[in-house]
Homo-oligomer: A and B are copies of this chain.
């Protein structure tokens, strides 16, 4: 998708400028103040009226999803690197870390993401990336299970929830050491013990 198009429709020059300014400003504000940042302030700093922001992005989730677009694509692209790793458990671990970083892009992001993951409402634009992530997680889980390295009872959704939890804990300001301990606990939970032959 080129910069001047939205769903294939060419846009007037001023509309493109407004959209780009809104996205750029919103990203900066999400980074600095978290997902709950004032949309009024975003509009003002982008040099547009509040109505223009709502016209482009009817909900906060729509704006969030648009700002996350680039990161979503990067995450999907990263799968190619991960798939080249050979060891399916290492691949699963790296994938979980990659998701965690994605969830940690802005403070407070895990909440709307979880809401979207649960949602039946198909109008929430965050639902799509969530479903993609759960499906991808499931594939890594199955690959590791085929190699007998992950418990048969584990499903992709379980580890999606776990990764989202770790990102949420991280967002509350917990030190990296405690996070690592939690990650280790979770890894002990899904790994298949080597049966001593």
Contacts and interface: CB of A to CB of B under 8 A. Distances in A.
Number of copies: 2
Given A193-B193, A196-B196, A153 B118 contact: no
A185 B190 contact: yes
Contact of A118 (B155, B173, B196): B173
A141 to B, nearest CB: 12
Contacts of A161: 169, 174, 178, 182
A69 to B, nearest CB: 23
A193 to B, nearest CB: 6
Taking chain A's interface residues, is the majority helix, strand, or loop, or is none over half, making it mixed? helix
A105 interface: no
Interface band, chain A:
20 to 34
Interface in A151-197: 151, 153-155, 157-159, 161-162, 164-166, 168-169, 172-174, 178, 181-182, 184-190, 193, 196
Given A186-B189, A193-B193, A181 B158 contact: yes
B184 A153 contact: yes
A114 interface: yes
18 contacts: A114-B169, A118-B173, A151-B188, A153-B184, A154-B185, A158-B182, A158-B185, A161-B182, A162-B182, A162-B185, A165-B166, A165-B168, A168-B168, A185-B189, A187-B189, A188-B189, A188-B190, A196-B196
